[in-house]
Amino acid sequence: MSDRTRLALEMLAAAGQHGSTDPTFLARFTPELLDLMSEGLATAEREIMRTRGRPFESARVRITDEGWRALESQVSLIQP
């Protein structure tokens, strides 16, 4: 796993059980998130959200149990 992919996985873990819908995160790590999803380390779900009464489509990305196990077996890249 590349350092960038590992960082994306750690950021998903830090987002907690609700995952991330942050468009900046999703755009910045798109290739890495696709790798994580193809390896079963993360999942994505389509969501319809509302802002000011207007619906828009978003993606919520979460870490899987397999992703948690992968994190436990490696050293963290996030600085405390």
**Residues contacting 69, CB < 8 A, separation 6+:** none
What is the rounded average pLDDT of the residues 4-33? 93
Q: What's the pLDDT tens digit per position in 62-72? A: 999 999 999 98
pLDDT at 79: 55
Q: What is the DSSP string of 17-46?
A: GG-B--HHHHHHTHHHHHHHHHTTSEEEEE
- Within 8 A by CB and 6+ apart from 51, the residues are none
How much is the pTM? 0.81
Question: What would the mean pLDDT of 26-42 be, rounded to a whole number?
Answer: 95
Q: What is the pLDDT of residue 80?
A: 53
| Residue 75 confidence (pLDDT) | 60
pLDDT of residue 37: 96
CATH architecture for residues 3-72: Orthogonal Bundle (1.10)
